[in-house]
Amino acid sequence: MIDVKNLDFTYPGNSDKTIKNISFSIKKGEIFGFLGPSGAGKSTTQKILIGILKRYSGKVSVYGSEISEVTGDFYNDIGVSFEFPNLYSKLTGKENLDFFTSLYKTGKNRTSELLEMVDLSDAADKRVSDYSKGMKMRLNFCRSLVHDPEIIFFDEPTSGLDPLNGKRIKDIIRGLKEQGKTIFLTTHNMNVADELCDRVAFIVDGQLALTDSPRSLKIDNGEKSVRLEYQKNSKTVYKDFQLNSIGVDLDFLNLIKKEKIETIHTKEATLEDIFIQTTGRKLDE
């Protein structure tokens, strides 16, 4: 669905490249995470993929067509949710979605369905100027889906949301994947990426450092051990065991039989751990 080869980009007036010879591809029905700190090049790459930034070098193909050559019809097949909501404050939530729907070649109005999906039905007739930040984020999320696109670009989709609404948005994204939608997700939130993405790419200073599935990255970079926590003398203590031998480790087996076990878990690395190890950078740098 998306194929990027040797992409370079420099903003006018700058001497340094913002994007430096990056290559990646995204399959149909895949959630692909673009992870990195602020200023790493995530949003710039997304803007190139959706045709906002044209003066790039390299190849950027979406639906098999070079993005620099697509026509206006291209936007009937993609949806975009930017990190900062771009809505009409004097219009109601319903009026906003109705208006955006009118811009596309779609035979169906999904406004009521979308507002209900993000729990904004009760605020449908309220002006957006009276919405909270979280409500605006949810409405902005809906805006990207009004025309039922096949490829969707989400930029920090859970930013500014409370845990309940953050979970709601993540569940919706999972549902879109089940429908066969292709999703490009930019974020600096490693937990969101870990929960949602089939594959992730780490970007720092405009360069890709690593691309793989979250599961493979955590397994390959984690410690091959299991930590067992249990109660002893009214205190919680722990002991680590080698993962490949716990089935015949008598100490491990005896502890399980005799002690009050509280938790057992493998010591795989987190995505943030791997990011720091790979790039030498923290997400907030």
Percent pLDDT > 90 in the chain is: 72
**Reported confidence tier of residue 268, pLDDT bands at 50, 70, 90:** confident
pTM of the full structure = 0.88
Per-residue pLDDT averaged across 6-24, rounded?
95
pLDDT in tens, 209-227: 999 999 999 888 888 899 9
Per-residue pLDDT averaged across 197-215, rounded?
94
> Which among 98, 126, 102, 100 is positioned nearest to 112, based on CA atoms?
98
- Which stretch of DSSP H or E encloses residue 25? strand 19-26
283 pLDDT higher than 80: no
157 pLDDT higher than 90: yes
Residue 76: phi and psi, rounded to 5, are: -75, -15
Residue 200 gets the label, from left (phi > 0), alpha (psi -120 to 50) or beta, of beta
Give the DSSP letter string of 214-270.
HHHHHHHHSEEEEEEEEEETTEEEEEEEEGGGGGG-HHHHHHHHHSEEEEEEEEPPP
Question: What pLDDT score was predicted for residue 29?
Answer: 96
pLDDT in tens, 91-147: 999 999 999 999 998 768 999 999 999 999 999 999 999 999 999 999 999 999 999
Q: Locate 29 and state its tokens.
A: 């029905």
Q: Is the dihedral of CA 131, 136, 138, 139 positive or negative?
A: positive
DSSP state of 58: E
pLDDT in tens, 43-75: 899 999 999 998 999 999 998 889 988 888 899
182 pLDDT higher than 80: yes
259 pLDDT higher than 70: yes
